[in-house]
Chain A
Amino acid sequence: MFPKKIVMIAGLILLIVAGIIFLSIAVRNPSLSSGAKKIAIAFLGPFQGSATQVVRSARNVWKHYFSLVSTAKENDRLKKELSLAVKHDNLYKETKLSNERLRKLLNFKKSKLDKVVAAEVISKDPSTWFKTIIIDKGEADNVSKGMPVVVHEGIAGQIVDTSPFYSKVLLIIDQNSAVDALVQRSRATGIIKGRSTGYCVFDYVLRKHDVHTGDIVVTSGLDGVYPKGLRIGHITEIVRRNSGMFQEVTVEPFVDFEKLEEVLIVLHSQEKGQAKK
């Protein structure tokens, strides 16, 4: 009835429109695909876990048996660092004691960061433009969506998808990530957003606020995800344009996301969320 060429063009247009509609729905309603993602993560998780173990074992063999020369040099360096650390440790103990006294004085509640679950990173995002990781703890370990993920250097991200034994973590350097934060020194507030470059931008910092390069940025606790006072990164660049209300602030995270192997999931947020409800 219709020429073959017209049918093909119509089919192509239909496919393009269907694709755009499909993607638009997926972007606006991420929860619609969570069931499908759960199945895929649960299926692929054991393979990724095994592959990571194999690769890490091979790397450890290399490190332990073939890198003894560099280990000796590293040993010397670590001894020096240890002596410095002992000094710092003493200072830390003093600060901790005075902190405890002050907390008691102000009747502060004790931080609940001790309710954590340790997890191992088993894979990274296949796309170089998006920054997520998969960890080997899931619903069976009381892990649920929205829980913060931290390491000793600072915050790493938050749980966005879970399966019974594995979870997906959205890192703070992903473009989808936003964390309510403040500058530790001046208490200037803003939102830390991820960039695909591996850096973060500190958005909505008013021009009148006092910020300097090198300033440490910590979580404000206002977003309901991350506990207050966790380290995020330090300011590396500030641009103040002639016009506009805000400053353009770039922040380098403390966490090295390329070398992330173990993380901690903070479980108390869920309790907080339930308490709110």
Chain B
Amino acid sequence: MIHLFFYLCVGLFLILTQTTASPYLPIPENSYDLTAICIFYLGIYRPFSEGISVIMVLGFIMDSISGTPFGLYITIYFWLYLGIKWLLQYLHGGSLITLPLVVALGILVENIFIMSTSAVMFPDWTLSMYIVRKIAYQVLFAACTAPLIIMLIKTVHLRLAGMIYGFYDKENGQD
């Protein structure tokens, strides 16, 4: 329960940063989806059952506050999560070499999902150079910055878990 609360707080913090603070922070205008960082963290480092409910909640919130058709983010996050779990059977996602690769691939897949939906929704939609450049920029920017944020979340999570479980152990006289 404490873990779930932590993941939700991280997810909400990332959503708030993305929607309210980003215009005032030195984050590029065409930055990638920051909330996906939480999905990557859960997909790479946490067991399947622990993250799935958080992913659904974050997807629901994103769908509600975004202009996308309802259900798009739930679908994207669900398949991203499954995809990462599948990929980790062949790769060691936690290493500093493969982490940027997994993140870049994830952001690319997310954008492909959104573009495919746009292509279906809008008959006059075309794949322009602007879109290709924007996706390429997002993928590269994510590969450079997202692994650092994931490592930060991991460190904070471990420290907090250590503190909380240490506190409980003391309370129960198990130290």
Contacts and interface: CB of A to CB of B under 8 A. Distances in A.
Interface of A: 19, 22-23, 26-27, 30, 32-33, 36-37, 39-41, 43-44, 47-48, 51-52, 55-56, 58-59, 122-132, 134, 160, 168, 170, 174-176, 196-197, 258
Contact of B65 (A51, A168, A174, A176): A168
Interface string B77-106: 011000000000000000000000000000
Chain A interface helix/strand/loop/mixed: helix
B65 A33 contact: no
B66 to A, nearest CB: 5
Interface in B10-27: 12, 15-16, 18-25
A132 B21 contact: no
A176 B121 CA distance: 9
A121 to B, nearest CB: 9
B24 A55 contact: yes
B15 A19 contact: no
Interface in B119-155: 120-122, 125, 128, 130-131, 134, 138
Given A40-B63, A127-B66, 6 more contacts: A23-B72, A23-B117, A40-B60, A44-B15, A51-B20, A124-B19
Given A48-B16, A196-B131, A134 B65 contact: yes
Contacts of B61: 40, 43-44
Contacts of B115: 129
A168 B68 CA distance: 12
A26 B71 contact: yes
Given A22-B75, A52-B20, A258 B29 contact: yes
Interface residues of B, number: 46
Contacts of B15: 44, 126
A51 B75 CA distance: 28
Nearest to A176: B67
Contacts, number: 124
Given A23-B71, A23-B117, A26-B71, A47 B16 contact: yes
B162 interface: no
Interface in B23-62: 23-25, 29-31, 33-35, 60-62
Across the A-B interface, give the 4 residue pairs with the lowest CB-CB distance, nearest first.
Answer: A40-B64, A130-B67, A33-B70, A132-B67
B67 A37 contact: no
B63 to A, nearest CB: 8
A189 B75 CA distance: 39
B67 A27 contact: no
Contacts of A258: 23, 29
B12 A47 contact: yes
A125 B70 CA distance: 14
A130 B25 CA distance: 20
B52 to A, nearest CB: 13
Given A48-B19, A52-B20, A174 B67 contact: yes
A176 B33 CA distance: 20
Contacts of B16: 47-48, 51
A47 B9 CA distance: 12
Nearest to B122: A175
Nearest to A27: B69
B9 to A, nearest CB: 11
B112 to A, nearest CB: 12
Nearest to B28: A128
B24 A59 contact: yes
Nearest to B62: A126
B114 interface: yes
A130 B122 CA distance: 13
A73 B77 CA distance: 48
A127 B114 contact: yes
Contacts of A132: 65-67
Contacts of A30: 69-70
A128 B65 contact: no
Nearest to B111: A129
19 contacts: A23-B71, A37-B63, A37-B64, A40-B60, A41-B65, A48-B16, A51-B20, A52-B20, A55-B25, A123-B20, A123-B65, A124-B22, A126-B15, A126-B62, A127-B33, A128-B138, A129-B114, A132-B65, A175-B122
